[in-house]
Structure 1
Amino acid sequence: MSKVISFQIPKSGRTFVQYQEDRGKYFYNNLHQHPQCQLTVILEGRGQLLVGDYVGRFEAGDVFLLGESIPHVFRSDAEYFEDDSKLSTAGNTIFFDFQAFGKSLEEVDEFKELIQLNERINGCFKIKGKTKEEIMRLFDGFSSLSGLEKLQRALHMLALLNFESKDLKALNMIPVSKSLSERDGKRMDQVMRFILENSSRPISLDEVAEQAFMSKEAFCRFFKLRTRKTFTQYLQQLRITEAKKLLIETDLGISQISFQVGFQTLSHFNKTFKSLTNQTPKSWRKLN
């Protein structure tokens, strides 16, 4: 995994279906991309999921579908990286390499639906409801299946994906920019790490532009092109996501939470929270 952005899935030959189990103190911590679509079940652990313009949370029991060549990271919460931490993470993933079919994907009539499906997976989706339950059931015992059985079950999973259903929730507001160059990928990873590690304090545009070795003007263009948000919008989304976690998991007062996640005034926090959630922090806490 020496290259930050061009993460390679271990595989032999041209394989459509590749199964992987991740176990450890924390999930792979770099922004990365790969040419396969992926279906991931989170079994243990929690943290922040960053994909394009989406900034959100993941936790045990979540199931996500991500399109091919889309930069993303499941970044475990800070406590997972502490030296004395007893926390651990676990997740199972199936990678689908549509390129493995070569020209036959276009020439075989039965594969046409696969082409259409691959085109629809443009971004990140959270899978819920009965579709989630069925996919989690199909994950059970996947590693022990033969090659043909794995293919059969994987196709069954893909056949369950109905993009018109409420069970598939698109997390990205707009299509995700694909295939960052390795240089841009390293820059974005460095920037994301800096923002995540410092979001609880004021961060100037000068500071974050320095992380990318760019002028402020060049950085603003670079960042918005790849996240479809301004740096300020992205930082606010990150802080509100963290505030939601604290509202649910702690008894801290709203004012305390406001300052803890990086807002300088309570009024700015309340205004930003409502603009992003259509609710006040108080009402959101009651409903969740």
Structure 2
Amino acid sequence: LNHKEYYEGREDLYSEIIVLNFDDQQPGFEFLRLNEFRHIRKMLSLASQGILFYGKTQRVTFSLLRNMVLLKDADRFIALLRLLNFLSRSHEYRLICSSALRQRREEEDNERLSKVYQYINLHFNEDISEEKVAAHIGMNPSSFSRYFKARTYKNFSAFLNEVRISRAASMILENKLPVAEIAYLCGYKTLSNFNRQFKKIMHKTPVEYRQSYYNQIEK
């Protein structure tokens, strides 16, 4: 919280903030639906009300977050799961907002965002534009752009690329179609752009990704 003493000329005061953003509704987090993650699901369902952790939980969480900053790739993701599991088991918390406010916000946002996800999943292989999706849910493009980024912490093009590359990665492992054909089936007009986006998200080229999978099978 931006209390006045932190910005009214007091040089002896300071704060350290670590922000961790993720959306459990995005592709890749489907495993949270498993029964083993029920405690995490319950906690995440309360997060829209704002959860304030205190006591030992707060101190341990701060330490875990600071360590997570130093990690990369799979190690960071595993650390995220450990943190969520730790928080979901804690009783040292209180909710900031009322359940009535939470319900009202969920009713307004969930249906709209669900329509966006459904549209993208159905048309990811087509020429999707931000304008088309905005029109689909009855918003003007500029308002939709702000809304989408506020809800997903990503711009629309980045999210669309993640959906397309996720589908492409599955196709690369599930069949022997040429990479160029998979790129086209996932909505990319040029192979060079597909290769660039794939490596950016998966940290490997499509060919390297497929080969590493076959190498693991042969071991």
* TM-score for the superposition, normalised by structure 2: 0.58
User: For structure 2, which runs of at least 5 residues remain unmatched after alignment?
Assistant: 1-22, 47-51, 66-74, 82-101, 214-219
Q: 1:121 to 1:223 in 2, by over 3 A?
A: farther
Contact 1:57 / 1:241 at 8 angstroms: preserved in 2? Answer: no
TM-superposed CA distance for 1:248, in Å, is: 1.1
Work out whether 1:216 is the aligned partner of 2:216. Answer: no
User: For structure 1, which runs of at least 5 residues remain unmatched after alignment?
Assistant: 1-49, 65-73, 75-89, 100-104, 123-164, 172-178
- The superposition leaves residues 180-215 of structure 1 with CA deviations (integer Å, 9 ceiling, x where unpaired) of 542122111111111111111111222100122110
Higher relative contact order (CA 8 A, sep 6+): 1
Work out whether 1:250 is the aligned partner of 2:160. Answer: no
- The superposition leaves residues 34-76 of structure 1 with CA deviations (integer Å, 9 ceiling, x where unpaired) of xxxxxxxxxxxxxxxx626x53265xxx5x4xxxxxxxxx6xx
Q: Give the match for residue 56 of structure 1.
A: 28
User: Structure 2 CA distance, aligned partners of 1:213 and 1:189?
Assistant: 14
CA RMSD in angstroms comes to: 3.6
Q: 1:196 to 1:167 in 2, by over 3 A?
A: closer
Q: Give the match for residue 69 of structure 2.
A: none
Higher share in strand: 1
Larger Rg: 2
> What secondary structure does 1:213 align onto?
coil
2:117 to 192, 199, 203: 192
User: Structure 2 CA distance, aligned partners of 1:272 and 1:225?
Assistant: 23
Give the aligned residue type for 1:55. P
Q: Give the match for residue 127 of structure 2.
A: 202
User: Structure 2 CA distance, aligned partners of 1:255 and 1:240?
Assistant: 13
Q: 1:120 to 1:216 in 2, by over 3 A?
A: farther
Pairing 1:118-157 to 2, within 5 Å after superposition: none
Q: Give the match for residue 161 of structure 2.
A: 236
Q: Give the match for residue 262 of structure 1.
A: 187
Work out whether 1:225 is the aligned partner of 2:150. Answer: yes
1:281 to 196, 206, 213: 206
Contact 1:187 / 1:211 at 8 angstroms: preserved in 2? Answer: no
Q: 1:238 to 1:169 in 2, by over 3 A?
A: farther
Q: Give the match for residue 95 of structure 1.
A: 39
> What secondary structure does 1:256 align onto?
helix
> What secondary structure does 2:125 align onto?
coil
User: Structure 2 CA distance, aligned partners of 1:250 and 1:264?
Assistant: 21
1:170 to 53, 68, 80: 80
Q: 1:57 to 1:117 in 2, by over 3 A?
A: same
Give the aligned residue type for 1:235. L
- The superposition leaves residues 233-270 of structure 1 with CA deviations (integer Å, 9 ceiling, x where unpaired) of 10001100111111111111101110111111111111
State the percentage of identical aligned residues: 26
Q: Give the match for residue 107 of structure 2.
A: 182
Q: How many residues align?
A: 154
TM-superposed CA distance for 1:121, in Å, is: 9.8
Q: 1:117 to 1:226 in 2, by over 3 A?
A: farther
Q: 1:167 to 1:195 in 2, by over 3 A?
A: closer
Q: 1:259 to 1:91 in 2, by over 3 A?
A: farther
TM-superposed CA distance for 1:286, in Å, is: 0.9
* TM-score for the superposition, normalised by structure 1: 0.45
User: Structure 2 CA distance, aligned partners of 1:271 and 1:187?
Assistant: 31
